[in-house]
């Protein structure tokens, strides 16, 4: 028996390949690009026979349908997912046996109504459990990503109660030495207090995980529903795309138009001025020269998350990068959240007729009252660790819709916790406010 964990650090996503002694492989929650799983099977002279989806994911696009169509592997998912593709239901009592391994389904709703966990039995003993977004290391899944329609608070609380039961009546009943393999680690928006560890045990989680401690259902519901992070715009889109099954990874990328270089006014004039430009270059380069109607979402660790937060699914955008190598990598990351159809064109950028105003830091320190300070961190961050008592808190995910709340009688200074989000936020406000907008950037660290 061999369990291989695959990690996507940018999305804090874990997927798994389970290899039996019969040289057969079952994948669990695979990412959009199936090549790493094909390479694993090839290296082990094995055949992929199945893919299990613990639920239709919100934060990434799965390759389950592509793997099914290319290899013939069956897709297993709860019937409650109402998937539009051909699948075999994998609900409570179902067993998938291959070689010396049994995979057993547990219905564990809470993060979503259709969530399952998968128990691995080897040599008549439960050895591991793949918990999807139900149980994380140090936390459990949030219950507010699949809400629709009215009575959202009621739906959230109903799922939270189901999570309470799933944890206590299903997962906590497993032996303490059963290894816990979640679908996400620290950095995901599918929970709020995840550990950096990539695995644990049921026993260790009983001791350290807040969600498994003794408490009433009402106390658990209150704790789980409080202070959850924002929900990116792309999450509902990815849920529906995963229910349908995404197009092939490489085919989607091949349909993107790219290869041009924008390095002159003449070349820039050929762009549609109504289409947003997502400029992924370093903020220092962006501030020196950029194009109108652009937002500076830097090529950083959380690029996909912020792209899918600031650009709604279905919105066409230009993708600007420093060079072709950067664009190649970025397009692959965009495809991980299913956004490649929305790229109007990708191009290398070495031109701009717009220049950002640069803050005189000493002048700002001498008289902060001469500026409107906008803190674009999340509400919880701003409350727990305020940098400026006089700051207006408008979280970055809400900034495009709430920019008219920012006074324009004084220059505006934008800050976050370290400079990444403020680059995006200040660039967004530059094009919307009739006032000078400054990015405090990394200098925010001088004020903590």
Q: What is the pLDDT of residue 86?
A: 94
Which of 278, 302, 301, 304 lies closest to 290 in space, CA to CA?
Answer: 278
Give the per-residue pLDDT at 33.
98
pLDDT value at residue 151: 53
Q: For the domain bounded by 2-232, which CATH number is listed?
A: 3.60.15.10
Q: Tell me what pLDDT residue 153 has.
A: 59
Residues in the chain, total? 448
Maximum CA extent, the chain: 72
**Where in the chain are all domains bearing CATH 3.40.250.10?**
247-349, 361-447
Sheet holding 47-52, edge to edge: 2-8, 13-19, 24-28, 47-52, 74-77, 88-89
> What are the start and end residues of each CATH 3.60.15.10 domain in the chain?
2-232
pLDDT at site 229: 84
Q: What residues does 120 pair with on adjacent strands?
A: 103, 128
Residue 149: the pLDDT is 46
Spell out the CATH class of 361-447.
alpha beta
The partner residues of 86 in beta bridges, in order of sequence, read none
Mean pLDDT per 10-residue segment, the chain (448 residues): 96 97 98 98 98 97 98 98 96 97 98 97 97 97 72 78 98 98 86 80 97 98 90 95 96 92 97 97 97 97 96 98 96 98 98 96 96 95 92 96 95 96 97 95 92
Judged by DSSP in three states, 24 sits in strand
Assigned CATH for 247-349 = 3.40.250.10
Instruction: Return the pLDDT at 150.
Output: 47
């Amino acid at each position: 028996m061999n369990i291989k964990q695959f990690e996507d650090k940018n999305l804090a996503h874990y997927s798994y390949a389970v290899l039996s002694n019969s040289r057969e492989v079952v994948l669990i929650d695979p990412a959009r690009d199936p090549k790493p799983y094909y390479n694993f099977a090839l290296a082990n002279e094995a055949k992929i026979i199945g893919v299990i989806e613990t639920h239709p994911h919100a934060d990434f696009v799965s390759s389950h349908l592509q793997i099914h169509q290319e290899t013939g592997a069956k897709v297993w998912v709860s019937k409650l997912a109402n998937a539009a593709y051909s699948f075999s239901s994998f609900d409570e009592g179902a067993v998938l046996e291959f070689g010396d391994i049994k995979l057993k389904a547990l219905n564990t709703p809470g993060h979503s109504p259709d969530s399952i966990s998968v128990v691995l039995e080897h040599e008549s003993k439960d050895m591991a459990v793949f918990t999807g977004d139900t149980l994380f290391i140090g936390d459990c899944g949030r219950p507010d990503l699949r809400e629709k329609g009215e009575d959202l608070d009621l739906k959230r609380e109903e799922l939270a109660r189901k999570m309470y039961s799933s944890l206590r009546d299903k997962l906590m009943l497993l032996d303490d030495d059963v290894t816990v393999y979640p679908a996400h680690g620290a950095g995901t928006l599918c929970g709020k207090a995840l550990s950096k560890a990539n695995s644990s045990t049921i026993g260790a989680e009983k001791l350290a995980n807040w969600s498994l401690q003794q408490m009433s259902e009402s106390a658990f519901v209150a704790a789980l529903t409080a202070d959850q992070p924002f929900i990116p715009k792309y999450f509902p889109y990815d849920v529906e795309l995963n229910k349908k099954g995404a197009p092939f990874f490489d085919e989607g990328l091949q349909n993107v138009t790219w290869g041009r270089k924008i390095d002159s006014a003449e070349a820039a004039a050929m762009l549609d001025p109504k289409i947003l430009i997502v400029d992924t270059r370093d903020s220092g380069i962006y501030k020196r020269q950029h194009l109108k109607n652009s937002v500076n979402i830097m090529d950083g660790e959380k690029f996909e998350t912020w792209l899918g937060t600031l650009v709604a699914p279905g919105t066409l955008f230009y993708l600007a990068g420093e060079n072709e190598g950067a664009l190649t990598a970025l397009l692959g990351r965009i495809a991980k959240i299913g956004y490649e159809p929305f790229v109007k064109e990708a191009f290398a950028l070495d031109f701009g007729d717009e220049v950002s105003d640069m803050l005189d830091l000493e002048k700002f320190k001498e008289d902060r009252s001469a500026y409107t300070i906008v803190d674009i961190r999340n509400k919880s961050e701003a409350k727990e660790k305020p940098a400026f008592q006089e700051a207006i808190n408008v979280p970055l995910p809400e900034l495009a819709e709430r920019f008219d709340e920012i006074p324009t009688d004084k220059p505006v200074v934008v800050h976050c916790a370290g400079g990444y989000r403020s680059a995006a936020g200040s660039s967004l406000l530059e094009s919307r406010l009739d006032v000078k907008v400054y990015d405090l950037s990394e200098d925010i660290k001088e004020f903590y």
